[in-house]
Amino acid sequence: MTDNVYTAFARNLMSGIKVSGPRPTPLLLKTEILSGLTVALALVPEAVAFAFVAGVHPLVGLYAAFIVGLITAVIGGRPGMISGATGALAVVMVSLVAQHGVEYLFATVVLMGILQIGAGIMKLGRFIRLVPHAVMLGFVNGLAIVIFLAQMSQFKVPGTAVSDGHGVSGGEWLSGWPLVVMLGLVGLTMLIIWLLPRVTTAVPAPLAGIAIVALIVIGFGIDVPRVGDMASIEGGLPLFHIPMVPLNLETLEIILPYALILAAIGLIESLLTLNLVGQIVEKRGGASQECVAQGVANTVTGFFGGMGGCAMIGQSMINVKSGGRTRIAGVAAALFLLSFILFASPLIEQIPLAALVGVMFMVVIGTFAWNTFRIMRHSTRFAGFVTLLVTVVTVLEDLAVAVIVGVIVSALQYAWVNASRISARTEEAKDGAKIYRIQGPLFFGSAAGFDELFTPRADPDMVIVDFAESRVADQSALSAIEGVATRYQDLGKELHIRHLSRDCRQILGRAGLIVETSEDDPDYQVAANYAVRTGLFAGGH
């Protein structure tokens, strides 16, 4: 962990919500607290649903939402982000819980948190910048579709859905008048959220939508599914609890694979959400700090009976769109959620699910990148393909898998394009030597093309290869240079190499090649420094 992460951790932990940013004013506090209340109301059915997916008690999901949300709000890398129990993690947990029980889940969450802290200390979060824009578009659009599909379970008759080991499925769909009423209330909520900002911004529109629809339903006694129909959210304070698992290698063999997968998924989703929120609030950085915060949150959650979690793009969008810009909103959301569990469960359980579905539908509309279609018309076909691929994989498989697939496909396409850029201009020197002026990057992808540039049998006894307009990128490139030199040496011809970096000269010089030195040699470092330390190319081939 870097000094600035340690400093932020200590400062924020000690000062609570007194963090850098706008000075707290009555108006700011009102906006942040109301935004936090809105987020907390939206967190309840999500946490309960994801607990059902994972096969654990609803309170396990609610405790995770409270603890993860609170800790990441205080020490996270991006004020305004909301974290809690998520479906991306729940679908991984379900098989662990089914096979080994909930105690192994708690142990896994602790280990998951430790791995995430390690990722933050090693600054692995900065690699999120390697995610191409096309992948980000696919991620956002896929997640919007996932959020939309997740709301479909609320249109089923309460108590009829069952878990099939992979999530909540089955159940009878609402029909007739109950469906009409449900759709009407959802539409009313969305209409309020759309219209209210045009009249006043004194109250967050999503909160007003929930409150008005809830008052109508309760006041007129309308029979529609409510939060309490999912499960009771009443409970006590989360208590410290050491996971009751054997402390041996067998336990580690069980939980380590799950912990690695959960840590990776949690960090990928959190860092992508961090980037997305950063674009909205116009702030950058904080990736390593966010990794540490997620790790600390999950480690603590595992010891307090929670299922772990990560950043939630839907709730983060609700918070940002409601005006939440500081850590106050995230802390308020977590504390409101705890108060629901401890004191207000009878009231919260009366909130109609239709109001919360309406809020999430507006999140879907706001999250989906509608300019994707315009971008796809004006960008390359490949970028459009990657966006579509990531969107489909996100919906069908998993967010983390989709992002990894998108990055790999983009990297392969980049390597293929650059592999075709290798070429050479040839000219004859005054002394009769033939000069090959290499153009384009030389790396593993272009090594074969580089070898095809040369005609050793037809060339004169003296050949010069000039890399002034090229760059040697990796060990495969060095091996390709050595292979070409060997072809000339076997014919008794002399090959001179110019304009290589110092480390390249060292490696190829040890292999017996003639590498010239000049004042204008480049000064970059090749990824093959390992070869210098180990003597990989020393003594020839």
Output the DSSP codes for 396-413: HT-HHHHHHHHHHHHHHH
What sign has the CA pseudo-torsion 121, 312, 85, 403? Answer: negative
Give the angle subtended at the CA of 158 by the CAs of 154 and 161, to the nearest 5°: 80
CB distance 356 to 182 below 8 Å: no
pLDDT for 366: 86
pLDDT for 534: 37
- H helix count then E strand count, the chain: 22, 9
pLDDT for 66: 97
Q: If 0-12 CB within 10 Å is exposed, 13-18 middle and 19+ buried, where does residue 494 land?
A: middle
- The structural domains of the chain, with segments of one domain joined by +, span 3-7+26-159+174-374, 420-534
Within 8 A by CB and 6+ apart from 437, the residues are 424, 425, 426, 427, 466, 468, 469
Reported confidence tier of residue 224, pLDDT bands at 50, 70, 90 = very high
What is the SS3 assignment for 428?
A: strand
Residue % of the chain over a pLDDT of 90: 51
Q: Which of 306, 307, 301, 315 is nearest to 273 (CA)?
A: 315
Q: In what order do the strands lie in the sheet with 514-515?
A: 423-428, 434-442, 462-472, 494-498, 514-515
CATH number for the domain formed by residue range(s) 420-534: 3.30.750.24
Q: How far is CA 157 from CA 150, 175, 215, 230, 320, in A?
A: 15, 9, 22, 10, 32
What is the SS3 assignment for 486?
A: helix
Output the DSSP codes for 142-192: HHHHHHHHHGGGGGB-TT--EE-SSSEE--PBP-HHHHHHHHHHHHHHHHH
d(CA 339, CA 355): 20
pLDDT for 313: 86
For 335-344, write each residue's pLDDT tens digit.
Answer: 999 999 999 9
Inter-helix orientation angle 353-367/313-321, to 10°: 90
Instruction: Give the least confident one: 17-26, 39-48, 177-186, 235-244.
Output: 17-26
CB distance 214 to 351 below 8 Å: yes
**Gap between the terminal Cα atoms of the chain:** 42
Q: If 0-12 CB within 10 Å is exposed, 13-18 middle and 19+ buried, where does residue 209 land?
A: buried
pLDDT for 97: 94
- Rounded mean pLDDT of the chain? 85
Inter-helix orientation angle 399-419/249-281, to 10°: 70
For 108-134, write each residue's pLDDT tens digit.
Answer: 999 999 999 999 999 988 888 888 888
Written as six digits, the tokens of 91 are: 């679908």
Residue of higher predicted confidence among 477 and 4: 477
What is the SS3 assignment for 482?
A: helix
